[in-house]
Each structure stands twice: as structure tokens, then as C-alpha cells.
Homo-oligomer: A and B are copies of this chain.
Amino acid sequence: MNTPPSQRLGAGTPRLSLNRWSFRTTPIQEFLEVTASHGIDAVGLWRQDVEEIGLDALRRRTDDAGLRVSSLCRGGFLTAADDAARSASLDENRRAIDETAALGAPTLVMVVGGITQEDKDIAGARSRVAENIAALAPYAEAAGVTLSLEPMHPMFTADRAVIATLDQALDIAEGTGCAAVGVIVDTYHVWWDPALEQAIARAGASGRLLGYQVCDWNLPLAPNPLFSRRYMGDGYIDFPSITRMVTDAGYTGDIEVEIFHEDVWATPADDSARIMAERFEQLVLPHT
């Protein structure tokens, strides 16, 4: 296993990591340099970056910028019912695990996939996710990385992730019997959950709280609700409360700011990084 992120914190803005997709319109090299220039010492990367510049180059550039990789996004899409698609998906996830390890990231974020209008059997899709995660777990463990199951907001249950709550993600993680599978808490996806506090405590107690991502929920939703995430403080989420739940559960790792919004992408990267760091220091960091 990699050294836990908590033991690798730099001297900059402690705990903060910027997610690559918060800057999707910024070239990768500029993103890395802007991040480092703000005293931030970690980034969450995406497989699209690997595809664009290659695994070795991405690792080298990250190292050269003095940055750690807090997570790689994403594996998953494990709900297909036919054998060929299942097999292809498992292969693709093994490649994603290899990339996670090669980048020195502790965890691969898993977006598990949805259902189709042709096959609306959500219980069946959920069973396949559990089976496929169990099949991938030993491979991840051998590679020295973890799989972070991401419960997604229920408005994405149909098309992106049949895992809708943290408790459900934990049931699947624990069901693998493998310590390499856990969960990631993304405020945008879970803030509404009446069982949130207990579920976060459960994740911590079972050693499966592997990541924490922050961004705000605001209204009205953007036309594409995937791109409706906002800077912390601009919406309805109570970051002090949720951060204290995560802290009380014993989480000491990186905290990624992951915002997808056209307005944010249209903002110069340096300004955007500054706002993220300020909001993080105001609303999140005091509660860690």
C-alpha cells in the first residue's frame, strides 16, 4: 500500500487537493503549475489526462510540479448484463487500477454505472456491481491501491450510478471482504441523506472512508445537472457540519475540490484556484 496521504502532507495549504475536472478547460501543464503556485500539494487526476499525454509523462509532470496525486477518476461502469460487455469492463477497470498505481495515487474513484430503459431491473444491476467490485478487489489490493465507491446523487441513478447512498456503498464494500474497497464522500452527492452522519461514522469505523470531495449544491440546477456544482459557500450545503462528521470518523487524508460548472471553467485558472483555496480555508479546514 502507498503511504497514507495523512503522512505526506506538504507545507502549503494542508489537506487541500484540486481536482483536474474543476479545470477541465485548462491545459494540464498550466493546471499543475497553477495548483503548485498556490501552495497546494495534491491534485485529483482523470484518465482523460492519461489518454492525452500518456502515463509516464503525466507522472513525470506531476512529480516535477512537486504534486502528489490524491485520486484517479474513474473506474466503474460495471452494470452491463451481457458477458462480453462485463468482461470488457473488468479489463478496462484493471487498466485503470494499473494507472492509479503508476501515478502513485492511493485510490481509484468508481462510478459504477446505471440502468437502461430496456432493462429496468435496478436490483439486478446492483447485484452485478457487487459481484464485479468483488472480482476487482484482489487485483486492486495486489496493485497497492484502493477502490473508492462513489455514491452519486439520486438524480444520476438511472444513467450513471445505481449506488445512491453511502450505506449502500458500504454494504457493497464490506461484502467484498477485502480491505482495499471503501467509499468516497462527495458533498454534492450525499449532503441530502438523512442517514449521512451515521453512515460516515460507519465508514470510518470500518476503515473504509477513503476520500472526501467538496463542492456546493445550488439552485436552479444547470441544464446538465452534472455541471451544476458550485464553489463552497455559494449554495445550500453546510460544510462545517459535514466536515466535522468526516473528521469525527477519523479521516485525515486529502480533501479534493471538485467543481463542474461552465462559469468556473470560464474563469481564469489562477482566479478559480484562489477562490477554491479561500473557501476551503473558510468553510472546510477549520473543521478538520
CA distance A117 to B120 in the complex (A): 36
What B residues does A115 contact at CB under 8 A?
236
Q: Are B117 and A235 in contact (CB under 8 A)?
A: yes
What B residues does A288 contact at CB under 8 A?
none
CA distance A154 to B189 in the complex (A): 9
A93 at the interface (CB under 8 A from B): no
Q: Are A158 and B217 in contact (CB under 8 A)?
A: yes
What B residues does A224 contact at CB under 8 A?
220
CA distance A224 to B219 in the complex (A): 10
- Chain A, interface residues (CB within 8 Å), range: 35 or more
The one of B158, B191, B220, B241 that contacts A236, using a Cβ cutoff of 8 Å: B158
Q: Are A219 and B168 in contact (CB under 8 A)?
A: no
A102 at the interface (CB under 8 A from B): no
What B residues does A126 contact at CB under 8 A?
194
A221 at the interface (CB under 8 A from B): yes
CA distance A117 to B237 in the complex (A): 8
The answer to whether A225 and B221 touch (CB under 8 A), given A192-B164, A194-B126, A194-B165, is: yes
Q: Mark A118-132, 1 if CB is under 8 A from B, else 0.
A: 001111001000000
What B residues does A163 contact at CB under 8 A?
194
The one of B159, B194, B238 that contacts A121, using a Cβ cutoff of 8 Å: B238
The one of B193, B223, B235, B238 that contacts A154, using a Cβ cutoff of 8 Å: B193
- Binding site of A, secondary structure by majority: helix, strand, loop or mixed? loop
CA distance A89 to B158 in the complex (A): 36
Q: Are B219 and A164 in contact (CB under 8 A)?
A: no
The one of B167, B220, B223, B238 that contacts A120, using a Cβ cutoff of 8 Å: B238
Q: Are A164 and B238 in contact (CB under 8 A)?
A: no
The answer to whether A120 and B237 touch (CB under 8 A), given A165-B194, A193-B164, is: yes
What B residues does A68 contact at CB under 8 A?
none
Of A120, A154, A155, A235, the most chain B CB neighbours within 10 A belong to: A154
Q: Are A236 and B117 in contact (CB under 8 A)?
A: yes
Nearest Cβ on chain B to A201's Cβ, whole angstroms:
14
What B residues does A217 contact at CB under 8 A?
158
Given contacts A117-B236, A121-B241, 7 further A-B contacts (CB under 8 A): A115-B236, A117-B235, A122-B238, A158-B192, A164-B192, A164-B193, A168-B195
